[in-house]
Amino acid sequence: MSRAWTMTSFGDGYRALVIGASGALGTAFCELLKQDPRCAGVRALGRHTVPALDLEQPETIASAAAELAAEAPYQLIVHAAGLLHRDRIKPEKSLNTIEPQALQAVFQVNALGPAMVLRHFLPLLEPRGAMAILSAKVGSIGDNRLGGWYAYRASKAALNMLVKTAAIELARTRPQVRLLSLHPGTVVSGLSQPFSGAANARSADIAAAQLLTVIDQLTPADSGYFYSYDGERLPW
């Protein structure tokens, strides 16, 4: 980016953790945060990092958190991993195409794994820090007008409920924490490439900058809500 980029809601020397760092958005988050002169360090986690974190192997979530506990606290944690399609998994156009194995795999990556991330990594977050979980607008029940994409929609709706419920608990115990569910929009990536909306996709670095700006502008009063990359609050 042409201008100096920085996050202002954290103090000098803040430290960030990006989960799902090998994807397009995860990589962009890491690069942007490294450019921030106020950021003292960025820890990247994914299936091929050390320690490794694989959402489909829940034991790696707990072990990665335990290994990073000595580095804690982090002021910012971003969870950028997700699954829409791969190999034989494709978004369903009708009920007749729902397959239990695909449904289970999508839920594991988009909801069950992130639930364990919330359990094991929220304790590593500073009491005034922010944790952002990337969701998707298609997970909004109130905004669902087109149907289809059963596994992805349902798993993201479940993810949103996990974030909302965890935020309620945090409001009682750590009321200054920001726990946010974020919609990144369509981003140039392997996830969006096969679909029609990809023609209007934004680059990952632009999307990551927009999302970090939203995180920076929101306050603890906004914790537990669902926001788009442009700052709009979305319906559940």
Examine the pLDDT at 62 and tell me if it is beyond 80: yes
Count of domains forming the chain: 1
| Structural domain contains residue 5 | no
Buried b (16+ CB within 10 A) or exposed e, 145-168: eeeebbbbbbbbbbbbebbbebbe
Residue 42 has pLDDT above 90, yes or no: yes
Greatest pairwise CA separation for the chain in angstroms = 54
Is the pLDDT at 158 greater than 90? The verdict is: yes
In-domain check, residue 7 = no
Residue 236 lies in a domain: no
Determine the structural domain holding residue 49 and report its residue range. Answer: 14-228
Q: What residue type is 74 in one-letter code?
A: Y
CATH number for the domain harbouring residue 82: 3.40.50.720
The residue-averaged pLDDT of 203-224 equals: 97
Asked, for residue 116, whether it belongs to a domain, the answer is yes
Quickly state the pLDDT bin for 2 (edges 50, 70, 90): very low
Query: Does residue 3 belong to any structural domain of this protein?
Result: no
State the burial class of residue 230 (Cβ atoms within 10 Å of its Cβ: 0-12, 13-18, 19+).
exposed
Tokens linked to 181: 């569910």
Q: Which of 2-6, 15-19, 97-101, 214-218 has the lowest mean pLDDT?
A: 2-6
Q: Does 139 map to a domain?
A: yes
Instruction: Please indicate, yes or no, if residue 203 is contained in any of the structural domains.
Output: yes
Chain position carrying tokens 């929009």: 185
Residue 235 inside a domain? The answer is no
